[in-house]
Amino acid sequence: MIAPILNIALWELFKRLVKPQTLTKLINRHGEDGLKRLLAENENGERGIRATAEAIEATEDDFGNNTWFGGFDSSNINQIRYNAETSTMGVMFNSGAVYDYYNVPRSVAYEFVTWPGSKGKWFWNNIRVPGNPKASNYAYSKVGSGTTTRENRRRESGYSSTHRRR
């Protein structure tokens, strides 16, 4: 499936929102057409383009100090952090589960955080082993968990497990 062409106005907005040197790096890495295709995958229009630009600029300044980066337009990935001292990348999923991936090169983690396309697709193609959801290219461990989306919906709806339908 071919990604839709990025609206010219959104492309111009993105070019104005990121630093010129950052834009040059992204174009060198993906090519201008490739970068436009990746940005076109973002389905949130201007809001998504702004969020992508903000995430890219934040990582340029703060990347590697174990700061969580989020605000991604992702159905699976909530936040990402990277600790340059230990080469550990943390990934918080929308379910609330947190995993640490060990010995991840800075360049790999940085590409993940700044990837303007789908975070979930990038993760499954580069960190996890495609076709094997239990395997990873890096050693990892689950280090935390939160409430799942299902649990949040139940809590908000007032559902109680003691009041089951019969």
| Element housing 12 (H / E) | helix 8-17
Residue 18, domain extent: 1-62
Domain count, the chain: 2
Does residue 130 share a domain with residue 75?
Answer: yes
* Residue spans of beta strands (DSSP E) within the chain: 69-70, 77-83, 88-93, 98-101, 128-129, 132-136, 140-144
Does residue 71 share a domain with residue 47?
Answer: no
Does residue 69 share a domain with residue 50?
Answer: no
Retrieve residue 122's tokens: 């990038």
**What gap in Å lies between CA 17 and CA 56, rounded to an integer?**
10
Return the number of other C-beta atoms located less than 10 Å from residue 73's C-beta: 19
Among 62, 85, 110, residue at a domain's last position: 62
Radius of gyration in angstroms for the set of CA atoms belonging to the chain, rounded to a whole number: 18
pLDDT digits (tens), the chain, 166 positions = 444 566 777 788 888 887 787 777 777 777 888 777 777 776 667 777 777 776 666 666 667 788 887 767 677 888 888 998 999 999 999 888 999 999 999 889 988 887 877 888 889 889 988 777 778 889 999 998 765 555 554 554 454 444 444 4
Amino acid code (one letter) for 45: G
3-class SS at 55?
Answer: helix
**What gap in Å lies between CA 138 and CA 104, rounded to an integer?**
7
